[in-house]
Amino acid sequence: MGDANYARELGVAVRAVHMACALCQRVQAGLVSHGTGQVKSKDDDSPVTVADWSVQAIVSWILAESFQDQNVSIVAEEDVQTLSKAELADLLASVTKTVNESLAEAPKYGLQSPKKALGASQVLEAISRCNSTGGPTGRHWVLDPVDGTLGFVRGDQYAIALALIEDGKVIMGVLGCPNYPMKNGWLNHHHHHHQYDESMSSSATDTWEKGCVIYAQKGSGKAWMQPLVQQNKMLEWPNSARQIKVSSIDDPGLATFCEPVEKANSNHSFTAGVAHSMGFKNQPLRVHSMVKYAAIARGDAEIFMKFARCGYKEKIWDHAAGVVIVEEAGGVVTDAGGRPLDFSRGTYLEGLDRGIVACCSAKLHEGFIGAVYASWDSSNL
């Protein structure tokens, strides 16, 4: 499964993401059942929930405890400014409770629990510890605690993404996809039904095996997927994992492409024009979060494209884990100019040429880059 030098890091990362998935499933079930009262807005109006802060806290704590021999550097999305407000004391209490409930289950995942429950100040400290800005040197963990919070709040797709960057290169990536079952083709089924129905959530649960963790290590030439840990069971990693590969389809007429759901950070009209010029016949698969990268790596779709509107800057935590997983599964990921993504320049993907393209094959990728160039001059991006 890759270089033995990183076996310890990969083991901790996979276990931590499994724990985070279980936490998110519990919180999401409560949101879907009881409404969105604990969903807050950040300064940029994007939503944040108990799960975002709780996952960041537990992953931060686990990494710090697991690598006490290292100066652990973590680049992550959330800060504690909102959570620290006096009028949100109840929200902080909910986060603290959720964190302690999750960490109490750590032995189930092969990790250590705290000797005693963490206090609110310790939870805030764990969250705020994730204040690194990355860069071209050193080792940096990159975390998106809940990628696709809008999908999470709606009971839809979301992901927990954890990657390790060393000297500007992504070394490994782990994606937890709690609502993305093991069975290929399910994402298309869910997309066409738009929401879970009773047959999906109850009687068909065993058939679909809802939820998975996907991971890869740079240079291994392999990507892996395993089911989420079921209730009252222990994590059986890596014995329960199976290898995944990208799709073998390279005919645009048979290919399916993924793009973001939100129009705010993706130009659907431009991607539709590129798809038309390439001869795509299938409707686009609009999916929340880095689950789009999982879809490419697993062979559920052939292309992921994202062309943000002018002024939007891509963050490294939205792509690092997904990129290495797609590449090791046999795919290609570049910017729209055909250049590799640069994770060495801090929090943002600086120098990005127009957009991001992930393909299952070099042939499709080459044709797609050509179609982008041909369509660009007539676009309004």
- Residues belonging to the binding site for Mg(2+) are 77, 144, 147, 318
Active-site position among 52, 156, 300, 335: 52
Residue 231 carries which side chain, given as an amino acid letter? Q
Numbered residues of the known binding site:
77, 144, 147, 318
Question: Across the beta sheet with 212-217, what order do the strands follow?
Answer: 74-76, 139-147, 159-166, 169-177, 212-217, 223-227, 242-244
307: enclosing H helix or E strand: none
Active-site position among 149, 256, 271, 334: 149
Q: Are 253 and 279 in contact (CB under 8 A)?
A: yes
**Helix/strand number for the chain, H first, E second:** 12, 14
Pairing between β-strand 257-259 and β-strand 303-306 as defined by DSSP bridges: parallel
DSSP state of 84: T
Nearest to 266 by CA among 312, 302, 300, 297: 312
φ/ψ of residue 123, rounded to 5: -65, -45
Residue 250 appears among annotated catalytic residues: no
Residue-wise burial string across 185-220, b where 16 or more C-beta atoms lie within 10 A, e elsewhere = ebbbebbeeeebeeebeeebeeebebbbbbbbbbeb
Residue 133 appears among annotated catalytic residues: no
Rg, Å, the chain Cα set:
20
In terms of DSSP H, where are the helices of 264-361? 268-278, 291-298, 320-328
Residue-wise burial string across 142-175, b where 16 or more C-beta atoms lie within 10 A, e elsewhere = bbbbbbbbbbbbbbbbbbbbbbbbeeeebbbbbb
Pairing between β-strand 303-306 and β-strand 356-359 as defined by DSSP bridges: antiparallel
Instruction: List the catalytic residues.
Output: 52, 149
